Amino acid sequence: MRVVIAPQAFKGSLSAREACRAMKEGLHRALPEAEGVLVPMADGGDGTLEALVEISGGRYITTLVTGPQGDAVEATWGLIESDATAVIEMARASGLVLLAGRPLDPRTATSRGTGELILAALDRGARHIILGVGGSATNDGGAGLARALGARFLDREGCELPPGGAALARLERIDVSGLDARLAECSILVACDVTNPLTGPRGASAVYGPQKGATPAMVRELDAALARYAQVIKEQLGKDLADIPGAGAAGGLPVALLVFCRAELRPGVDVVAEAVGLEEKLKGADLVITGEGRLDGSALYNKAPIGVARRAKRLGIPAIAVVGSLGDGYEAALAEGIVAVETLVSGDVSLEEAQRDAFRLLSEATERAVRKRSLP
């Protein structure tokens, strides 16, 4: 029996690689003769770097960059495919995780560090970049990233605007004459799992701003600033991106990537699945085991377990999901190729306990799920 094991990370407890190992142990207790094919997955957010670097046999690099509040941070990224392709997670340089316990102000937060990672990749010779944009702390439309790459954002007097999305309300001119020439030879694939436009009630500021510390007044201020940004881009650079699905991801970061770089936006799970060769690995499999920390209705929006299950379903392969917990709307996943769901623990175990002992619990839950599936 050939079983493909393709979970994403269990946030706060296990990486995708560790989850694969735990699931394989459980599989082999239930079916000792089964072949377990490990395929760590991600959807463009946390775990994307690890999934792509480790399955490709790449290497990690750490670079000192500008954090979201302007201080220096060490950001890890990766090189794969004989160093021709760089893998970057925006959150490592410009993410909320870097600001834990600190006051948040999305009006001034900058994406500059993510642009500095792109420069570091270019310096290493990479000419293809996979960029995951989950977990950002910024709402600057990628202006900080573009600054790092050589663009200038000027006010009415021709002075450089300060960092952050709020300052874009005073934007009069964008100077692209200093953009790094190597960008013309570099393609950027943006792994994005949302479809929000840049502005409006479903835009970057309204939907994601509050997660980054924005009050209702800040949301209105930032939304208006991004609208001004989009207007100047349209008038001066001839690109109308205001209503493009996904432009509102990561505080509007895709706008800068589409305007100033050779970028393409794609669902994160599709980017990762293609990079790790998931569909090829699924061929000839008898069963797929996937999973994540929590399965709910949001999983249908291109989250990794659903992406795995949909591909398995097209090939007629049943998929089992082993998850930390279930949330509202999880039943919809059963129509996407997942034939059974197993949770790690019952309701009498706390989240803290489950996270501390996640490897064992995941291994045991996988064993239970496979034994149930194997019953006549």
pLDDT at 164 over 60: yes
Confidence of residue 43 (pLDDT cuts 50, 70, 90): confident
- pLDDT tens-digit readout, 189-225: 999 878 899 999 999 999 999 999 999 999 999 999 9
Closest by CA position to 50, among listed 12, 3, 18, 97:
18
More confident residue, 233 or 333: 233
Residue 223: predicted pLDDT: 98
Domain residue ranges of the chain, discontinuous segments joined by +: 2-39+277-374, 48-269
Determine the Cα–Cα distance for residues 168 and 289; give it in Å rounded to an integer.
Answer: 46
Confidence of residue 287 (pLDDT cuts 50, 70, 90): very high
| CA angle at 53 for the pair 34 and 304, rounded to the nearest 5° | 60
Strands, E, within 272-344: which ranges?
287-290, 294-295, 319-323, 325-326, 338-343
Ramachandran assignment for 47, one of left (phi > 0), alpha (psi -120 to 50 degrees), beta (any other)? left
pLDDT at 301 over 70: no
More confident residue, 194 or 240: 240
Task: Considering the domain delimited by 2-39+277-374, tell me its CATH architecture.
Answer: 3-Layer(aba) Sandwich (3.40)
Domains 2-39+277-374 and 48-269 share a fold: no
More confident residue, 201 or 47: 201
More confident residue, 45 or 58: 58
Closest by CA position to 54, among listed 91, 85, 79:
79
Residue 330: predicted pLDDT: 84
Mean pLDDT for 249-275 is 94
Mean pLDDT for 144-165 is 98
pLDDT at 376 over 50: no
pTM over 0.75: yes
More confident residue, 348 or 178: 178
Determine the Cα–Cα distance for residues 277 and 274; give it in Å rounded to an integer.
Answer: 5
Count of residues making up the chain: 376
CATH class, domain 48-269, is alpha beta
Residue 295: predicted pLDDT: 85
